[in-house]
Amino acid sequence: MTIRVLIADDQMMVREGFSVLLGAMPDIEVAGEAVNGREAVDRVRELSPDVVLMDIRMPELNGIEATREIMAANSGAKVLVLTTFDLDEYVYQALRAGASGFLLKDASARQLADGVRVVAAGEALLAPSVTRRLITEFSKLAQTSRPSSAARLAYGELTDRETEVLVLIARGLSNSEIAESLVVAESTIKTHVSRVLVKLGLRDRTQAAVFAYEARLVSPG
């Protein structure tokens, strides 16, 4: 199945470069481009892409607000945020808004294409350097807030095994790695992951990881 991608970035050279790189992939089609966040929201409505490559810092509507609007519209599009800085202060906010992952703009063509495929498949994607920033943000959160009653109630509905799977998701393990760790079939883990997302009302593994940290099921570091 061909993955349809929308590229949202205010720099023409970036848009054109990504279009060329992704257009060369047999399983990826560049469905369109957007020059700012507002246009990205409109283009998602018009084109129904599978994945949006979203720059964070754009005029009119930034990538965080655009992501939030796209997720609220339930279009089915996944957002993969591209940032120039591995210490971008908006990483945590964008994940909260519903982004499925992050890549740095200096990623190779292969990393970019693989990132699109991973996100399109419903998996989470975080560049290692961005993950370090995210953990820093979680550390600050842990020092300044307490898990909400809603969060405590939600994860209280999970079985012990589902809670265990959620913790491993938050630690960055893939389904196959979780299956190996728990000595069960990968298909069993996929079922557990699906049930976790449904019970917690979450869209994907990235939101599950955020939830696990916020509910203090996992400690940063």
Sheet holding 51-55, edge to edge: 28-34, 3-8, 51-55, 78-83, 101-104, 125-126
pLDDT bucket at 215, cuts 50 / 70 / 90: confident
- Tell me the whole-structure pTM to 2 decimals: 0.70
The pLDDT score that the predictor gives to residue 19 is: 93
pLDDT at residue 169 is higher than 80: yes
CA–CA separation, 191 vs 213, rounded Å?
Answer: 22
User: Which sign, positive or negative, has the C-alpha torsion 87, 92, 97, 99?
Assistant: positive
Domains and CATH numbers, the chain: 3-136 (3.40.50.2300), 146-214 (1.10.10.10)
Comparing 97 with 26, the larger pLDDT belongs to 26
CA–CA separation, 121 vs 179, rounded Å?
Answer: 18
pLDDT at residue 64 is higher than 80: yes
- In sequence order, what are the beta bridge partners of 32? 6
The pLDDT score that the predictor gives to residue 171 is: 79
Residue the block writes with tokens 């929308």? 6
CA–CA separation, 99 vs 66, rounded Å?
Answer: 10
Per-residue pLDDT tens over the stretch 127-164: 555 555 565 565 565 555 555 545 555 556 888 899 99
Per-residue pLDDT tens over the stretch 86-109: 555 677 777 778 888 888 888 888
